[in-house]
Amino acid sequence: MTTRTPNQLLRDLVAESGLTYAALAKAARTVAAECGGALQTNKSAVEHWIAGATPRGDTGRYLAVALSRRLGRLLTPTDLGLPTAAGEADNDTIGLSLRDDPLDVLLPMWRYELDRRRFLTASAYSVAGAALPLSHVQEIAARTAAARIGHTVGMAEVAAVRDMIRAFSEMDERHGGQHGRSALVTYLRDDVAPLCRARFRTDEVRQQMLSAASRGVHLLGWKSYDAGQQGLAQRYYLQSYALAAESGIPGQDGFVMRTMAMQGLKLHRSEHCQGLAETGLNRAKGRVDAETEALFRVVHAHTLAKIGKRRGALAEAEQARVLLTAAPGDEIEFWALTWGPPAASVYSRTAKVHETLGDHRAAAEQYALAAAARPSDTYARIVALDLVAGAEMHLKRGGIEQACATWHRAIDHMEGVRSVRTRKAVNRMRGDLARFRARGLRCAAELDERARDFLASG
């Protein structure tokens, strides 16, 4: 006969809550009903769990939320001494799932991030993970409301979260992805996650709070991407997608799919990029303003160029340009302003379409337009990277002097930016300049000296 070990963690939390076993069972049934489930939990079941029995199915999650409401702090099944639905959390699959409540996935990820767990930052990009949004669009979009804790939340709290995430985003663009990352993780974990499980004044408030949370998690993915941690970035994008889909805000889930397509293109893992871009566009088409739709179309154009569909790629890029000029001035959703003015993002991605198709002159022109379309004081890093890309196009056309002048402008914008990508760009530039330095070309030698100083200062 197997001897059970009493669950002391659960016993202590129940005692702290002051709930009777019968009251806790009722609270768990209420949570289950709000999540669309049916639970028959009673006083005897709670006694069995404290004695060491394991709740079945999602019951542990419902129990964790019920105690969270009572105690006013966010708890997971692990905090209750219960196994998680996904099994062992500390492994290579964490974050690569859309079956669980995204907050249940994110909470341990954030804990491991702050503990500097190596397995997360060193995780590999998953081709299978890239396909998850394609197969789960309907399933995730249909998910019922998350369980709720704490006080009633209104639009004032949503506005506060948006403002804070906007501030983190602006800091990220000015100073690089390695700046303020731990602070963002802590803010999302301690402030935003509990708000996502609060009681909401209206369903619209709930939608907007989940949307804001999705934007914050998307920013964490972008910070990981900027740090060269592609596997971790992908996991955050997946959970940002899950939150966006749960929010039901038109187009936002497709916007995250668009980001995932861009990541796959950058990593030369194009297996699902065209599907992600096309599905993302279909999720947004006719449901967002013209400028935002242009963002979707130009990434779709890039995926078409990548698979050799030249005519389709150019037609889609042109449609994106037309949408920019025909924009009626509608208010743009805050999640669509992730990389600044939509026009700048459209120019930058159009440049990549032309670069993929071998038209370096047109690509250089578009990169220059992109750099000029963003406020350089706010978007220092991305302006620098667009200028770097433009310089590379000039070099491919044989314009070394013009390339050097553009590279100098790029480094001007890199001062004070902590970014793996900008450092890689400068190292790549030095490699490109080597043959010109060997010929004694003065502009190449001067630029290389400046590049060495930049790398040494970082």
* pLDDT of the residue at 85: 46
Phi, psi of 115 (to 5 degrees): -85, 0
pLDDT at position 284 over 90: yes
pLDDT at position 140 over 60: no
Q: Which has more pLDDT, 145 or 381? A: 381
For the chain, which residues make up each domain, given as ranges?
8-85, 89-249, 270-357, 371-458
The pLDDT tens digits for 188-238 are: 998 899 888 888 889 999 999 999 999 999 999 999 998 888 888 999 999
Q: What is the DSSP letter of 78?
A: G
Q: Which has more pLDDT, 4 or 131? A: 4
The pLDDT tens digits for 430-447 are: 999 999 999 999 999 999
DSSP string, 3-26: PPPP-HHHHHHHHHHT--HHHHHH
134 pLDDT band, cuts 50/70/90, is: confident
**pTM (2 d.p.):** 0.76
Mean pLDDT for 324-332 is: 77
Phi, psi of 36 (to 5 degrees): 85, 10
* pLDDT of the residue at 142: 41
* pLDDT of the residue at 278: 96
Q: Are 173 and 386 in contact (CB under 8 A)?
A: no
Mean pLDDT for 247-256 is: 96
Say which range, 85-99, 264-278, 336-350, 378-392, has the weakest mean pLDDT: 85-99
| CA nearest to 10, candidates 54, 42, 58 | 54
